Chains A and B, each alone.
Chain A
C-alpha cells in the first residue's frame, strides 16, 4: 500500500515538474529504512539515506529529483531500459554490473556480517563454524555468492530470502542458525529484535554504488564528480551520520576514491576482478539450474497430487453432501480462490510459525496444493454435473449404489471432461510454483534470478529458464492431448 501511495505521489510530482529538468531515480520503497522507506508520519514522503543521496545528486546537477518505484531485483534491468536515470538503493557493486551498466564510484562501504542468536554467539563465530547448519541471506546478492561458495568449503546450507526482515525473524524462531547480510541491515534488525548478536569479523567487504544505463557515461562522470565533491566537503558523511550508519570504514574508502579509484572491487589475489565469461558462468550455474528445475517439478507434481485428491473430495462433498457440508465447502473454496496464493503462502509459513513451524518445502507444497485444490474442485464439480443423467439412471436400474455409481461410472466419465482444464491447471501450477521462493525454496525462477544477477543480464538465464519450464510442461501437454484424442475421436 505504501509503495502504491508513493508511486501515485511520484506520478503527481513528475507531472508537476514536467517542464523542469528532473533526475528520475529508481528504488524499491519496500526495502525500508535506512535506505528508502515511506515516512511513517507522512506516508506520501520518502526518507532514508538513499533518498538524501538522490536529493544531493539532483541538487548538484541542477535537477529536481523524481522517485520511480521499481522492484529491488529488477532495478538494474529497469535503469538499463531507461525507466529512470539512476538507481540508488543500497545496490552492491559487482563485476557483472560493471560489465552491463554504467556504475558510479562507491558511496558507502559495507561489511558482510554474520548474525546469530545470542545463545549461539560463542559457537558460531564464522562461516567455518556452521557446517551442516542453515544460513540465511537475500538471494542474488554478494552474500548469497559467499554462502554458495561456503556450501562447498564449509558444508553449510544457504537459504535464500526475498526480503531482509524474515531472515532475522526465522533466526529467532530457529528455522535458520545464522544470517549473513550487510552490516547496515544487521544493525537495523538488532535494534528491532533483541536476542541477536552480530559477530565482529566481516566475511567480506562490499560497496554501494549508483547504477545508470550503459550509454549514460556522461551522467556517470557527473555523478562521480558530485559524489567525490560530497565526500570532500562532508555532505555524504552528514547524511550517513543522520542515519547512524557512519563508521570508520568510510573515511578510508573515501580516501581511496578521492585518490582516483573508480572501483574498489578486488579479486581474491589482488587487482580488479574480471567477470567470468558468460559460458564459464553458465557452466557453473547449469547444475544449480537443473537442480532447481527438479525442485520445481517435484514440488509441482506433489502439489498437483494433493490438489487433485483434495479437489475431488471437495467436489464429491459439494455434489453429494448435505446442505451444511455443501455450504462449508463452498465457503472454503470461495475464500481460497478469492485470496492471493502469495498471501496464503505467507500465512502458512510465517503467520502460523508461532503454532506450527512447517519446513519450507512442506509449507510450499501445502500452500500450492490447497490453493489449487479449490480450483480443481470447481472443475470436478462441473464435470460431475456434466455427466448425462441417463448414464447415472442406467447405473441405478442395474442396482449400483451411489458410491459404486460415482466410482465406476460418474467419476471415470467426469475425469474425461476434466482432463483438459486439469492439464491447463497443472501447467499454470508449474509456473505459479515460482512464488514459493518467498518461503526460501530456491526453485527454477529464483535460481534464474540469482544466475541473472551474477551475469548482469537476463537474456541467457531467461532463455534457459523458459526452455526448462517448457521442457517440463510440454510432455504433460502432449500426454493429455493424446488421451483426449483417444477418448474423443471415433476410432471406427
Chain B
C-alpha cells in the first residue's frame, strides 16, 4: 500500500551545520507514528520540512501524491494534504476559537462562511471543546487551546496531521484524553506523525516509533519492542535520561 507520507534521504543544513543527514521515513493510512530523539536531534525540523515551512537541500518528501523537492514548488498546495499543530498552538490571539478555525476555509479555500462555521462547530464538538467556540485564545486552558489548534489544522480535511510535542504541557490525565482523541482520528483513516519525549504516551498510543539521532533515523518499529529493548545507543540514552530520577 502507498504510504500517506514518504520521506526519502531528507537533508537540511543551516549554514555549515547539518541538521538532517538523510532521513527516511514513512507513515501509512491510519498510523500514529511517534518521532523520538534527544533535543537537537532534528525531530521538529523534520515536521517543519514536511509542513512546507522549512526548505531542504536534499532528498524528497511525498505527501498523498504531492512531491516536494525542497524548492517552493507545490508548497502552496500542501495545506490540503497536511495539517500542523504547533507546540505552543499558535492560535491567532485576535480571533475566537471558531473564527480561528473558519479563517482559512473562508479566505483560502473559498468555503461559504455559514458552511465553514457549521463544520468548525462540528470539529470543536468532536474534539470536546464545543462549549468554548466563542472563547479567545487567552481565555482557553492549554488543553483546550491544543484541541482548537487540532480543529484548525483539520479544517481543510488533510489526510496527514503533524503535531509538535503535543504532550509537553499536559498533565497525565489530559495526556490520556489526548491519546484517545488521536486514536479516534486515526480510526477514521487519518495518519498522524508527532514528535514526543514521553515514552509512556508513545507506548500507550503510537502504532510505530521512529528514533532520530544526529539527523538520521537510527531505529524504528513497534513501540512496545523498541522502547523495551532498544537496539541503538541513542534510544537507550533517550530512555535513561528520563529514567528513575525523573
Write the residues of chain A forming the contact surface with B, with a CB cutoff of 8 angstroms.
388, 390-391, 393-400, 404, 408-409, 412-413, 416, 487, 490-492
Contacts and interface: CB of A to CB of B under 8 A. Distances in A.
Interface in B76-103: 76, 78-80, 82-84, 86, 88, 90-94, 103
Contacts of B84: 394, 397
B145 interface: no
Contact of A398 (B93, B94, B135, B156): B156
B159 interface: no
Contacts of B67: none
B94 A397 contact: no
A397 B92 contact: no
A415 to B, nearest CB: 8
20 contacts: A390-B88, A393-B53, A394-B90, A396-B53, A397-B53, A397-B78, A397-B79, A397-B84, A397-B153, A398-B79, A398-B108, A399-B76, A399-B78, A399-B79, A400-B107, A400-B108, A408-B107, A412-B94, A413-B93, A416-B93
Contacts of A397: 51-53, 78-79, 82-84, 153
Contact of B104 (A390, A391, A398): A398
B109 to A, nearest CB: 7
B14 to A, nearest CB: 15
B86 A394 contact: yes
Contacts of B51: 397
Given A398-B108, A399-B76, A408-B107, A390 B94 contact: no
Chain A CB within 10 Å, residue with most, of B103, B135, B156 = B103
B139 interface: yes
B67 to A, nearest CB: 18
B86 A393 contact: yes
B138 A490 contact: yes
Interface residues of B, number: 30
A490 B82 CA distance: 32
B79 A409 contact: no
Given A399-B76, A399-B79, A492-B139, A408 B90 contact: no
Given A396-B52, A398-B155, A391 B90 contact: yes
B63 to A, nearest CB: 12
A413 B90 CA distance: 12
A388 B87 CA distance: 13
A390 B139 contact: no
Chain A CB within 10 Å, residue with most, of B83, B86, B94, B153 = B94
B38 to A, nearest CB: 23
Contacts of B53: 393, 396-397
B90 A399 contact: no
A126 B178 CA distance: 90
Contact of B139 (A400, A404, A416, A490): A490
Given A399-B76, A399-B156, A400-B104, A394 B139 contact: no
B83 A394 contact: no
A395 B53 CA distance: 10
A399 B74 CA distance: 11
Contacts of B153: 397-398
A416 B93 CA distance: 10
Contacts of A398: 79, 103-104, 108, 152-153, 155-156
Given A390-B90, A395-B104, A398-B155, 12 more contacts: A390-B88, A391-B90, A393-B53, A394-B91, A397-B53, A397-B84, A398-B153, A399-B76, A399-B79, A399-B156, A490-B139, A491-B136
